[in-house]
Chains A and B, each alone.
Chain A
Amino acid sequence: MLLKNTYNEFVKILAKPRSYLGIGALTLLIGVILFAMKADGSSFISFVTQSFEQTLSFNGNILNGNLIAFIILQMLIIHIPLLIALVTGDLISGEAAMGTIRMLATKPISRTQIVLSKFIAGAVYTLIITVWMGFLALIVAKWIFGSGDLIVLNSDGLVILQEADIFWRYAMAFLVAFLSLLTVSSLSITLSAFADNSIGPIVSTMAIIILFSIIGSLDVSVFDHIKPFLFTTHMASWRSFFNDPVPMARIYESIVVLVAHNVVLIALAIFRFNKKDITA
């Protein structure tokens, strides 16, 4: 029954206009970035290399598809989570608002399976968004800007990665990025289990992301103990794949934290939905 209801969830997601809103917005956003970079990308590069340019000159195809893909991936931090939450935050509470939740809950399917099928569908939607972003960022950007070495500005310096050494980094980065976005999806679905309207979980998800991001960025010792446990701290761990050497220990730690978040959130949603009196 889990698979059957998961299929149902796909049917519902595919039929909702807002699902395409997210993909459309993502396409438009990336299109704008590609256009801007094509029009005046060299100014952007100067911004990145300016403090070195008094003494050094950087030669070669710097503004290439790999750099553009990196810039696009940077957007993950605030923008894409909203597009994910827009769809996944509605999965349970949207049914409550519509009244279909009581139709669903009187069918011979366990409440746990109802919640799990929504998580699976949400995860697949998140994967579609991630893959689409990867396609636009890597394939389309490379088609427009060509390929080349990647120049990355980290807080401890500039790293220039050779072209042949980049693809595997992007593959791993997108996997970890997917895990980050999956955490957003899980959070919004869990909040959806507590609400009876669509807007609440979506806004709450974004508020939590923004709040945790601010806490993570404040260089204040009082927050030092909780920062490692905030999922937003680890949402940018994909970036670590563009370091040399790649800090695998730190990445594994991020993966563990994100997976733990997903497990706890799913468990919470299942617990809540099982206990919930459906009065809608």
Chain B
Amino acid sequence: MSQPIIEVRQLAKKFGTFEAVKDVSFTVNKGDVFGFLGPNGAGKSTTIRCMLSLITPNAGTVKLFGKTYTEDRIGILSRIGSIIEKPDFYKYLSARKNLEIFARISGANVSKKEIEEMLEFVGLGGRGGDKIGGFSHGMKQRLGIAQTLLHKPDLIILDEPTTGLDPQGIIEIRNLILRLKNEQNKTIVLSSHQLSEIELIANRMVIINKGRSIVEGSVQELMNAQELVLTLEVDQLELTKTLIQNNFANAQILSIKENVLELTLEKQQVATLNQDLVRAGVSVAALEPKRRLEDFFMKIVNE
């Protein structure tokens, strides 16, 4: 098995008396699109900054490409492209000049032609000469992605890359990430509050809460092992409710709207519920399971 791209072990960081990160551990393998999830204040941003050597941890280790920053900071950073929080640029310079500035110190020889191609690639072709001060948030986000990819990094760390983008923009970013993974075999760490996006594109993830990593693993496995949320449309609401309450002790009815119930149920009990309803003479118009990361996430962080 090849060496992990990122290994974080028992990471801890305090700011004064405030423990932002207490005990975070996870591994990112080559080729992963790795989801990095956690509620506000969980320590995501602090962890990412430790991963990028912006912050020095008080305890634990961060290894990228098998090395710590103490061993080879320049070598590691030359293989990473990142956006942390919102991308910030020099407002008094044009988009092109900003990219030139970052390209110059990226460790790679990026030509002017490549800069122009990258501007086209992120949808800013023709805007290269405009000053950043006049850019919208979405345009800055695109430019941020441009500066991340300019030097062809092996590892890409994106902190909320779709924030502030319209639905079109969100789809474009999603497709871009998938292309980077599938066509270029890039390793991508994605921190996002758009949980549906994580579910669609990430193959592995870690959830952290209150400075600790809670669960880590394959997205699919984590989803499959858990409860489902079912949407159930029936013709006999009261009978259905009674049947559920009597036969499925662990089920929880989340909401009822006219003849549509939303409930949680373990995956292996879905088929049994369907059979019981049919035997009881209930017509089931719809039975739609949802493996919602959002619900899973909320369940995990509230435990």
Which residues of chain A have a CB within 8 Å of any CB of chain B?
A: 1, 4-5, 7-8, 11-12, 15-17, 98-100, 102-110, 275, 277-279
From 60 to 100 in chain B, residues with beta carbon under 8 angstroms from any chain A beta carbon are 73-78, 80, 82, 84-93, 97, 100
Q: Is the beta-carbon distance between B74 and A98 smaller than 8 angstroms?
A: no
Stretch at the interface among B47-55, B113-121, B264-272: B47-55
Alpha-carbon gap, A17 to B92, bound state (A) = 8
Alpha-carbon gap, A16 to B131, bound state (A) = 12
A-B contact pairs, 18 of them (CB 8 A): A4-B104, A5-B105, A8-B104, A11-B97, A98-B90, A99-B85, A99-B88, A100-B89, A102-B54, A102-B84, A106-B53, A106-B84, A107-B105, A108-B106, A275-B56, A277-B54, A279-B49, A279-B54
In the bound complex, residues from chain B placing their C-beta under 8 Å from that of A106 are 52-54, 77, 80, 82, 84
Q: What's the least CB distance linking A271 to chain B, in Å?
A: 14
Closest residue on chain B to residue A106 by CB atoms: B52
Instruction: Identify 13 new A-B residue pairs, CB closer than 8 A, beyond the known A4-B105, A8-B101.
Output: A4-B104, A15-B92, A15-B93, A100-B89, A105-B54, A108-B73, A108-B76, A108-B106, A109-B74, A110-B74, A277-B54, A277-B55, A279-B55
Q: What's the least CB distance linking A101 to chain B, in Å?
A: 9
Q: What's the least CB distance linking B191 to chain A, in Å?
A: 15
Please tell me if B102 contacts chain A, counting CB pairs below 8 Å: yes
Q: Is the beta-carbon distance between A1 and B55 smaller than 8 angstroms?
A: no
Majority secondary structure of chain A interface residues (helix, strand, loop or mixed) = helix
Q: How many B residues, CB 8 Å from partner? A: 34
Alpha-carbon gap, A103 to B146, bound state (A) = 13
In the bound complex, residues from chain A placing their C-beta under 8 Å from that of B89 are 100, 103
In the bound complex, residues from chain A placing their C-beta under 8 Å from that of B92 are 15-17
Alpha-carbon gap, A100 to B105, bound state (A) = 14
Q: Which of A12, A16, A98, A275 contacts B101 (CB 8 A)?
A: A12
Alpha-carbon gap, A12 to B102, bound state (A) = 12
Alpha-carbon gap, A106 to B93, bound state (A) = 20
Q: What's the least CB distance linking A201 to chain B, in Å?
A: 19
Please tell me if B213 contacts chain A, counting CB pairs below 8 Å: no
Q: Is the beta-carbon distance between B106 and A107 smaller than 8 angstroms?
A: yes
Q: What's the least CB distance linking B62 to chain A, in Å?
A: 13
Q: Is the beta-carbon distance between B91 and A98 smaller than 8 angstroms?
A: yes
Q: A12-B90, A102-B84, A278-B49 are in contact. Are A108 and B107 (CB under 8 A)?
A: yes
Q: What's the least CB distance linking B48 to chain A, in Å?
A: 10
In the bound complex, residues from chain A placing their C-beta under 8 Å from that of B187 are none
Closest residue on chain A to residue B51 by CB atoms: A106
In the bound complex, residues from chain B placing their C-beta under 8 Å from that of A12 are 90, 93, 101
Alpha-carbon gap, A5 to B102, bound state (A) = 9
Alpha-carbon gap, A16 to B97, bound state (A) = 13
In the bound complex, residues from chain B placing their C-beta under 8 Å from that of A103 are 87-89, 102, 147
Alpha-carbon gap, A11 to B87, bound state (A) = 20
In the bound complex, residues from chain A placing their C-beta under 8 Å from that of B104 are 4-5, 7-8
Q: Is the beta-carbon distance between B74 and A108 smaller than 8 angstroms?
A: yes
Alpha-carbon gap, A12 to B138, bound state (A) = 24
Closest residue on chain A to residue B81 by CB atoms: A106
Closest residue on chain A to residue B72 by CB atoms: A108
Alpha-carbon gap, A15 to B96, bound state (A) = 14
In the bound complex, residues from chain B placing their C-beta under 8 Å from that of A277 are 15, 49, 54-56
In the bound complex, residues from chain B placing their C-beta under 8 Å from that of A17 are 92
Alpha-carbon gap, A50 to B15, bound state (A) = 65
Closest residue on chain A to residue B45 by CB atoms: A279
In the bound complex, residues from chain A placing their C-beta under 8 Å from that of B97 are 11, 15
Q: What's the least CB distance linking B149 to chain A, in Å?
A: 14
Q: Is the beta-carbon distance between B93 and A11 smaller than 8 angstroms?
A: yes
In the bound complex, residues from chain A placing their C-beta under 8 Å from that of B80 are 106
Q: What's the least CB distance linking A97 to chain B, in Å?
A: 10
Alpha-carbon gap, A104 to B82, bound state (A) = 11
Q: What's the least CB distance linking B236 to chain A, in Å?
A: 58
Q: A8-B104, A106-B80 are in contact. Are A99 and B147 (CB under 8 A)?
A: no
Q: What's the least CB distance linking A108 to chain B, in Å?
A: 4
Q: Is the beta-carbon distance between A99 and B105 smaller than 8 angstroms?
A: no
Alpha-carbon gap, A164 to B76, bound state (A) = 60
Q: What's the least CB distance linking A270 to chain B, in Å?
A: 15
In the bound complex, residues from chain A placing their C-beta under 8 Å from that of B86 are 99
